[in-house]
Amino acid sequence: MNPVYAQRQTRSMPQEDSTAEHQHQGISTAMLESMAYPYDLPALPYSMDALSPCISERTLRCHHGAHHKTYIEALNEAIGDTEYEAMPLKALILATAGKPGQSAIFNNAAQAWNHAFYWDSLSPEGGGEPPPVLKRMIEASFGSVDACRNALTKAATTQFGSGWAWLAQDGKKITVLKTSNADNPLTRGMTPLLAIDVWEHAYYIDYQNRRKDHVDGVINELLNWEFAASNLA
Ligand code: MN
């Protein structure tokens, strides 16, 4: 893991005050993974208005404080007094993936993890170019960073209905994929590098049906390529 990120894993609970100094206090994914049942909603690594205008404060408050929070609460409710209480979150996701009787646990566990990963995939200082090591790997897999961005745009705009677009590492290759609902690259044995949420709740307040406008803004202005590089296996 990128040492800069590794140092940022400790921080306090979410703060309601969007003006509070909590930019870059931590990394949501690492925080969530280090937690045990009962899970808490991880704080955002930036203030509620930090991603505006691409993602408005209103959208971020609702997405984090209502949607993500509800997945965490439903996860706690679903795994209380079961064998899954003691299981690390990633292991829980893999243990329940594709098992029809456990879809409620899988969906809430994966969405709890996906959203923590998504917050870290965005940054007010995002966009731009990937760090050199990742850039070389992307060029080897896609030909250019622009081609990779285009593949991400296509995945995010063509995912039918609710789901996610991902940059992921599959062996030595960097790849783009789209997943439905709560599914993610972990269930395919890949290493997630970046996530783009394309559920309507991610953009509807700001863009209504114009998903592509939202996706273009996220990719060009907010994607945290440093975080992506820190996730390389
Ligand atoms: Mn979401």
pLDDT tens across 49-93, in order? 999 999 999 999 999 999 999 999 999 999 999 999 999 999 999
| CA 143 to ligand 1 center in whole angstroms | 31
Tokens, residue 110: 């994966």
pLDDT tens across 88-111, in order? 999 999 999 999 899 999 999 999
- Please check the confidence at residue 25 and state whether its pLDDT lies above 70: no
Give me the mean pLDDT over the 206-233 stretch: 97
pLDDT of residue 36: 84
Domain residue ranges in the chain: 21-121, 132-230
Cα–Cα distance for residue pair 172/122, rounded to 1 Å: 24
For the chain, what is the mean pLDDT? 90
| CA 203 to ligand 1 center in whole angstroms | 9
| CA 67 to ligand 1 center in whole angstroms | 6
- Please check the confidence at residue 18 and state whether its pLDDT lies above 70: no
Assign domain 21-121 one CATH number from 3.80.30.20, 3.40.50.620, 1.10.287.990, 3.40.640.10.
Answer: 1.10.287.990
| CA 136 to ligand 1 center in whole angstroms | 30
pLDDT of residue 100: 87
Indicate the pLDDT class of residue 182, thresholds 50, 70 and 90.
Answer: very high
SS3 sequence of the chain? CCHHHHCCCCCCCCCCCCCCCCCCCCCHHHHHHHCCCCCCCCCCCCCCCCCCCCCCHHHHHHHHHHHHHHHHHHHHHHHCCCHHHHCCHHHHHHHHCCCHHHHHHHHHHHHHHHHHHHHHHECCCCCCCCCHHHHHHHHHHHCCHHHHHHHHHHHHHHCCCCEEEEEEEECCEEEEEEEECCCCHHHHCCEEEEEEECCHHHCHHHHCCCHHHHHHHHHHHHECHHHHHHCCC
Give me the mean pLDDT over the 29-34 stretch: 80
| CA 162 to ligand 1 center in whole angstroms | 9
Neighbouring residues of the ion ligand 1, judged by CB less than 5 Å: 197, 199
pLDDT of residue 31: 79
In what order do the strands lie in the sheet containing 163-170? 173-180, 163-170, 191-197
CATH of domain 132-230: 3.55.40.20
Q: Find how far residue 119's CA is from the centre of its chain.
A: 5
pLDDT tens across 132-173, in order? 999 999 999 999 999 999 999 999 999 999 999 999 999 999
| CA 82 to ligand 1 center in whole angstroms | 26
Phi/psi of residue 203, each to 5°?
-145, -10
pLDDT tens across 33-49, in order? 788 899 999 999 999 99
Smallest CA-to-CA distance from 3 within 27, 22, 23, 32 is with: 27
Indicate the pLDDT class of residue 26, thresholds 50, 70 and 90.
Answer: low
- Please check the confidence at residue 19 and state whether its pLDDT lies above 90: no
